[in-house]
């Protein structure tokens, strides 16, 4: 009996990782009904990380009300496992919480993330795993730090209310009222990107546009991050991942002493993925869109790296695929596209349609796999 590992990230805006795996397993079993299929839901530090880790760790969900990116009180959740809190930034400071017309990184703040962290400290957290992908913000973590007791001032000595715009005017940071419990709390950051804080590879230039920033706003935010970094001091702005979540990665490592890890590595290690690979003949992975960025620290790339170390072939399936030489040379045994040629994206992203497309693609993959290994 063949052992197949299904390790999918979510198909963003369409299906969760578990839903993708269920649809794939259904299609695969139509062709190979006696397969031993093991489902491993994964994430790279963005939305979906919480779901991936909670069931494996046996963590308990906690409810809290905190501010969304625009300051509206919103119910959200995180998880506690003994004294470890698992927090997904997208739950409270995420881009998906805003309508397209509301997106503006000059106005958005990470204050709600800090409120969730404070709630976790109140519940006895002494370790935090923070997944910081999928954010709507570009405030260098100013809001998060404010909720944890930090104070920020402009050149005139006036206290600033946290936002992307306020970040651009920071002249002084006061940590004297920071929550003392932070000194006793280990913080591990799961990031899905490796961007620096500012510059061409920085948070503003690479990601602010998708968060609603016009070109002039991107320039202002980049300058603001340079200013913020100069006030903090040190060389943390050059750390890969400092630009994650609009500079939240930077704030966590520079001011809270956090350890920054590639999100997929943290998730795979926590799940014990290498042990799950024992006796597997094939691994299937994928995400909603597969392109050259898939190879740059995204979930399928992590699955590929771990599987290759054990000489297990890896097939990738994307809702859509942008073909390029780098992707084809990346090491996947085969790459498939679930969406039929000519189907409009809006239709393909409908839940039922996406499930049907994945199911059909799985049957096709199974047939080809049998032909090659019969």
**Per-residue pLDDT tens for 123-144?**
999 999 999 988 999 999 999 9
Contact 260, 252 (CB under 8 A): yes
| Tokens, residue 80 | 């506690």
On whether both 135 and 238 belong to a single domain, the answer is yes
**Per-residue pLDDT tens for 139-174?**
999 999 999 999 999 999 999 999 999 999 999 999
On whether both 96 and 189 belong to a single domain, the answer is yes
**Per-residue pLDDT tens for 238-288?**
999 999 999 999 999 999 999 998 889 988 998 899 999 999 999 999 999
Q: How many other CB atoms are there within 10 angstroms of residue 34's CB atom?
A: 7
Average pLDDT, the chain: 94
pTM for the whole thing?
A: 0.87
The verdict on residue 269 lying in a domain is: no
On whether both 89 and 225 belong to a single domain, the answer is yes
On whether both 26 and 75 belong to a single domain, the answer is no
pLDDT at residue 326 greater than cutoff 90: no
The band of 231, judged by pLDDT with boundaries at 50, 70 and 90, is very high
- DSSP string for residues in 270-325: HHTHHHHTTT-SEEEEEEEEESGGGGTT-HHHHHHHHHHTTT--EEEEEEEE---H
On whether both 220 and 72 belong to a single domain, the answer is yes
Alpha carbons 229 and 206: distance in angstroms, whole number:
18
Give the residue from 204, 230, 264 where a domain finishes. 264
Alpha carbons 109 and 144: distance in angstroms, whole number:
8
How do strand 73-81 and strand 60-67 relate by DSSP bridges?
A: antiparallel
Contact 76, 52 (CB under 8 A): no
Residue carrying the six token digits 């489902």:
39
The total number of structural domains that make up the chain: 2
Contact 110, 137 (CB under 8 A): yes
Closest by alpha carbon to 250, among 90, 110, 66?
110
Closest by alpha carbon to 128, among 248, 299, 296, 303?
248
Give the residue from 202, 233, 264 where a domain finishes. 264
- For residue 121, give the CATH number of its domain: 3.90.1510.10
Contact 357, 19 (CB under 8 A): no
Q: Which residues span the domain enclosing 350?
A: 3-41+281-373
């Amino acid at each position: 009996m063949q052992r197949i590992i299904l390790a999918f990230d979510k198909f963003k805006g369409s299906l969760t990782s578990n839903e993708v795996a269920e649809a794939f397993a259904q299609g695969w079993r139509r062709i190979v009904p006696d397969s031993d299929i093991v489902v491993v839901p994964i994430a790279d530090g963005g939305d979906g990380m919480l779901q991936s880790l909670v069931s494996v760790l046996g963590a308990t969900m906690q409810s809290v009300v905190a501010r969304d990116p625009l300051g509206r009180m919103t119910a959200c959740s995180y998880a506690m496992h003994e004294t470890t809190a698992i927090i997904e930034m997208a739950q409270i400071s995420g881009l998906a919480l805003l309508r397209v017309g509301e997106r503006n990184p000059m106005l958005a703040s990470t204050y709600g993330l800090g409120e969730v962290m404070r709630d976790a400290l109140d519940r006895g957290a002494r370790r935090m795993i923070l997944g910081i992908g999928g954010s709507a913000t570009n405030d260098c973590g100013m809001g998060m730090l404010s909720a944890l007791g930090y104070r920020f001032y402009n050149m005139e000595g006036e206290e600033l209310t946290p936002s992307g715009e306020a970040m651009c005017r920071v002249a002084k940071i006061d940590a004297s009222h920071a929550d003392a419990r932070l000194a006793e709390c280990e913080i591990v950051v799961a990031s899905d990107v490796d961007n620096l804080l500012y510059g061409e590879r920085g948070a503003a230039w690479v990601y602010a546009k998708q968060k609603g920033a016009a070109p002039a706003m991107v320039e202002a935010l980049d300058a603001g991050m340079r200013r913020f970094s100069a006030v903090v001091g040190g060389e943390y702005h050059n750390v890969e991942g400092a630009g994650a979540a609009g500079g939240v990665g930077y704030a966590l490592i520079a001011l809270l002493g956090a350890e920054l890890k590639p999100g997929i590595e943290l998730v795979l290690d926590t799940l014990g993925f290498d042990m799950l690979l024992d006796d597997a003949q094939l691994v299937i992975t994928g995400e909603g869109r597969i392109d050259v960025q898939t190879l740059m620290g995204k979930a399928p790339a992590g699955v590929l790296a771990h599987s290759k170390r054990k000489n297990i072939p890896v097939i990738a399936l994307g809702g859509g695929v942008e073909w390029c030489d780098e992707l084809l040379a990346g090491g996947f045994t085969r790459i498939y596209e679930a969406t039929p040629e000519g189907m409009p994206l809006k239709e393909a992203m409908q839940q039922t349609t996406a499930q049907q497309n994945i199911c059909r693609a799985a049957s096709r993959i199974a047939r080809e796999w049998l032909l090659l290994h019969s």
